[in-house]
Structure 1
Amino acid sequence: MIPLSFAQRRLWFLHRLEGPSATYNIPFALRLKGPLDTAALAAATTDVATRHESLRTLIVEDADGTPGQRILPPAEAVLPFHLTDTTPQDLDGALEKVLRRGFHLDTELPLRTTVFTLSPHEHVVAFVFHHIAVDGASMAPFLNDLVTAYTARRQGQAPHWTPLAVQYKDYTLWQRQLLGDEDDPESVAAAQIDYWQHELDGVIQPVQLPLDRPRPTMPGHHGGHVSFTLEPELLTGLGKLAADHGATAPMAAQAALT
């Protein structure tokens, strides 16, 4: 069985901790105007999953409870593709229902597609991914490949593209080989763990900020908005400070808050 990457393992742990939820769903919705060939779109979605193994990967556990990747052959990878009629007034509620449904990672592939038909010439296509298979940077290549495949299917053909030189499983195996076993004191993984254990020793967790209501026992994942303005000079300076230390601007802002 192919092991999980370390990022996947974190997401798998959280999935097992709280059960299927929408916390790590990545929604992507497109509003399309004009005629839509839904059969071609369904075929194109399958074409993209055939091209990208991560979209046809289940996260399963062996007898000892160790998780791993099980990549389904293209013939067995059936991606959910639903068609439903709705009205503009009901669209938001229908979208929210689709986007908030969680994934069972051991039995469900990490992509669902729902086409909402508002009229014969207006549709909203909602793609819902699980973060264990994609991230924000995945959307551009997904859309590029989807357009290529849809265009080909509209012409009654399968897409013609060069096979990918690297799949996510290749990255996973390379990462494991590079970092090594964290139980091996000579490994890169052990060195990184040792560094952060010393770096974070004594750090107060969580940050003790005054709250207007008690912290709940279980997270509700409900948020709010507080608007404020950062002057351009401050924002530029924050970005430079972060870059000088090999960090991102949000990391520098979090450090300042702490």
Structure 2
Amino acid sequence: MTPLQTRQHPLPLSSRQDWCWQWMRSYPVDSTPVEATETLSLRGPLDIGALRDTLAEIETRHEALRLRLAAPPGPDPSAAWPGQTLRPDPGALTVLPVPPQEATAEATRILARPLDLTDRMTRATLLRADPHEHLLVMQFHHLVVDGACHPLFRDLLAEGYARRVRRAPDTGQGRRRSEPESYTALIAREGTPAARSAVRERAAALARDLRAYGSGDPLPGDAGAVDRDTRFGSVPLGVPADRTRRLLRGSRTERVTLHTVLLAALARAVATEYDRDRLVCSVYTHGRTTPAAHETLGLFSNVVSARLDTAPAPLPDFLRSVHDRVRDAAHDVDLPFTEVASRVLPRPSDGGAYCRSALAHVELRLTGVTGWLPVDQHRPPAFPVPELAATALDIQAPFTPPSFNSREQALACAGTLFATLDLADGALVGALWYEHRYHDGERLARIAERYGDFLTELAPSP
């Protein structure tokens, strides 16, 4: 039993949860839920008891899935962290019969209902269309789960279910998983006086560096046009499969990652357009710093800030510089976002939260390859049960554009450019998103063109 499991008083945030708390407190309490969802289509005879027991085992072994808030967040954006407690018991699996033609619509309705975070931050619902057709709808709040958890959750579900129905032969050669890392033990380690003192010193040093690189000095735009309701436009950044293959070869030649190449291209394009020789870029790191953490469901990822020098330089030197700066930024995964932001930015006038992108000029999310999540999030689980086939479905709650608690938070978000890229079927698919009232669309189109020119420089057409 870990030290914090025996305590009755609420637990503090982990260093990884801090940025997510700031994120969710930037919006009104009734805005779009900050959740990660997982919907699996299960075709074939299903042993619901075995599925229920498997889900209970997963929650029991992975502490983050049993965390809950000690009090409601409340409508006040300046509300302090209410603390969290660890439920002693796993959650129930709700089984609902549904007509086959209504299954997808019912899954959407379930995902649209926010979680009661004071009860639990996960919810499992099984929609039974007929004895051989089910939808498993999982809801995870981002305070306890990140994107890297999804493939692991599917594997644990498949392995545990197969073990219970005794369809997977035990050859002794299967993968032996290590004991998950205790999330409450992570919080306990971070809460020692020595650890807190070290964090304060490192956060102060990082804040000085970020200010020197222009953090707090956003990209210029029409600030007067922005209100609390953000309105985003986008320009495509996708790369066809044949060119993506050349980029992968080019990155290997330069001994950097594809993530480095794409971030370097974007940073140089933005810096050229805005005539800046320094930028701060937000990137995500998976944050799993121990072998056990790789086998653990929980929020370990963090938003870290890479300080980039973007003055003209030979291509190999520039790529190596970006690569090294991203690697250095990853060392800050255990720094709470608030500890840094509060030293760089003025406190919002309403006393509320910091927008999670407020420190950066550019943010990059790359999935499916060498980004923060180097796996296919949509990979279906391989149930070692011949009669049962599983498919991961992309069913989401209805999306509404974010509305912030204050105009200051909306402006902090508007000043950042957001690039999202996913490797799908060998091609890079994605876009550069921008608040279209703050930023000039023609300017963003020029950035996208320069981004393409940089990639061509690295990997020219044959």
Which of the five TM-score ranges fits, normalised by the shorter chain? Answer: 0.7 to 0.9
Q: Are 2:192 and 1:180 aligned?
A: no
* Whole-angstrom distance in 2 between the partners of 1:125 and 1:223: 34
Q: Larger deviation: 230-239 or 136-145?
A: 230-239
User: 1:238 and 1:14, CA in 2 relative to 1: closer, same or farther beyond 3 A?
Assistant: farther
Select which of 236, 239, 259 maps to 1:229.
239
- Alignment of 1:130 onto 2:130: no
Partners of 1:108 and 1:254 lie apart in 2 by 42
Q: Distance between the aligned counterparts of 2:234 and 2:110, measured in 1?
A: 22
Q: For the Cα contact (< 8 Å) 1:180–1:188, is it kept in 2? A: no
Equivalent positions of 1:150-189 (< 5 A) are 150-154=161-165, 164=179, 166-175=181-190, 180-181=196-197, 184=200, 187-189=201-203
Determine if contact 1:41/1:150 at 8 Å carries over to the other structure: yes
Q: Does 1:102 align with 2:114?
A: yes
Contact 2:68 2:87 in 1 (8 A): yes
Residue 14 of structure 1: how far off its partner (Å): 2.8
1:144 aligned to which of 135, 152, 155: 155
Structure 1 Cα separation of the partners of residues 53 and 198 of structure 2:
43
Q: What is the identity percentage for the equivalent residue pairs of Structure 1 and Structure 2? A: 25
TM-score by length of 1: 0.73
- Please show how residues 41-56 of structure 1 align to structure 2 within 5 Å: 41-56=51-66
Q: Is the 8 A contact 1:110 1:129 kept in 2?
A: yes
CA change 1:245–1:153 in 2 (3 A) is closer
Deviation at 1:219, TM superposition (A): 4.2
Q: Deviations over 1:52-100 (max 9, x none)?
A: 00000013369x93443311223xx4x2422223344323322222222
Given the alignment of the two structures, is residue 59 of structure 1 paired with residue 69 of structure 2, yes or no?
yes
Closer/same/farther in 2, CA of residues 165 and 250 from structure 1, 3 Å limit? same
Q: Hey, which of these two has a bigger chunk of helix by percent? A: 1
Per the alignment, residue 10 of structure 1 pairs with 19
Report the Cα offset of residue 5 of structure 1. 1.8
- Unpaired segments of 5 or more residues in structure 1? 156-160
Q: Which runs of 5+ in 2 are unaligned?
A: 1-9, 73-78, 167-175, 271-462
Secondary structure of 1:136's counterpart equals: coil
Report the TM-score when normalising by structure 2. Answer: 0.44
Question: CA, structure 1 residues 29+228, in 2 after alignment: closer, same or farther (shift >3 Å)?
Answer: same
What do you get for the CA RMSD once the two structures are aligned?
3.8
Equivalent residue for 1:200? 214
Q: After alignment, is 245-254 or 51-60 more displaced?
A: 245-254
Aligned length: 240
Change (3 A) 1:239 1:4: farther
What's the counterpart of residue 72 of structure 1?
87
Structure 1 residue 133 displacement after superposition: 1.0
Cα distance in 2 between the residues matched to 1:168 and 1:10: 17
Q: Secondary structure at the match of 2:120?
A: coil
- Greater relative CO, 1 or 2 (CA 8 Å, sep 6+): 2
**Structure-1 residue corresponding to 2:101:** 89
Secondary structure at the aligned position of 1:129 is classed as strand
Q: 1:21·1:103 contact (CA, 8 Å) conserved in 2? A: no
